Amino acid sequence: MFLIENYWLILFTWLLMAIGNGTVGHRYFAHNQFKVSYFMHWVLSFWCTLSAYSSVLYWQVQHKHHHRHSDDSLDIHSPANGFLQSFLFWAFSKKRIESVFNERSSKVAYLKAISDPAVKFNSENFISINLIFLLSIAIININLLYCILISFVLEHLRLGIINTILHIEKIPGNYRNHQTKDLSQNNLIVGILSLGFGWHNNHHADPTKLILTENWWELDIEGLIGKILAKE
């Protein structure tokens, strides 16, 4: 009954998280696909933080590492290293996460990222910011807190699916527009339901590209939102 009564609120809070990770964390912070004002830069850093997948620093360091080593043994969330590891468990492996920083490029990326006051503040206070936010929501409306927690689970499922089935060949619905060096795939169903994040092969072919649409059915809502947010 709770899910039925709060369907639209759950959808709304999930959309905020999805955009916070997909458009803001991934496309803005990780790949610099669009530019915004200094004020909006701080707003986006908070948005990404409250989307609660990982800190802004993750997107700026670990995700770039993923692109450099996509589907090889150093890729910390590749299904080549185990499906469950790729789907979720990598996030709980301190050893694997720290392995990213064995590479000089990651150390350079870290120093550059941490010099940004917005990135530094929100990354260092990632857990505190989210706990304060959730406690505040619980005081205001406990049902809203439940909706946010359900959205949190849905968003982790979305990103887990992208990390796994979009790097596995011969999954139903998977296809490739580009013969990239990795195993990145597009998926018709995931692409639509994930707001465009699922046009993954298109993204890996050109990580600087904001709008990932190459075929008429490849609607890229995340990219379009990035275009709206972009400073002219």
DSSP string covering 152-219, please? HHHHHHHHHHHHHGGGSTT-TTEE-SS--SS---EEHHHHHHTTTTTBHHHHHH-TT-S----STT--
pLDDT tens sequence across 163-172: 999 999 989 9
Contact (CB, 8 A) for 148 and 137? yes
pLDDT value at position 223? 97
More confident residue, 63 or 94: 63
The amino acid at 5: E
Give the residue carrying structure tokens 């789907």. Answer: 87
Residue with tokens 């720290």: 98
Higher confidence at residue 127 or residue 79? 127
Instruction: Give 174's strand partners.
Output: 187
Condensed to tens digits (0 to 9), the pLDDT of residues 85-109 reads 788 878 777 777 788 888 888 999 9
Residues facing 186 on adjacent strands = 175, 199
Nearest-angstrom CA–CA distance, 93 and 99:
10
Q: Which helix (H) or strand (E) holds 145?
A: helix 142-164
Torsion of CA 124, 103, 203, 8, to 10 degrees: -20
Tell which phi-psi region holds residue 72, choosing left (phi > 0), alpha (psi between -120 and 50) or beta.
beta
Residue pair 41/24 in contact (Cβ under 8 Å)? The answer is: no
Lowest mean pLDDT across 5-14, 89-98, 182-191, 223-232: 89-98
Location of structure tokens 């927690």: 149
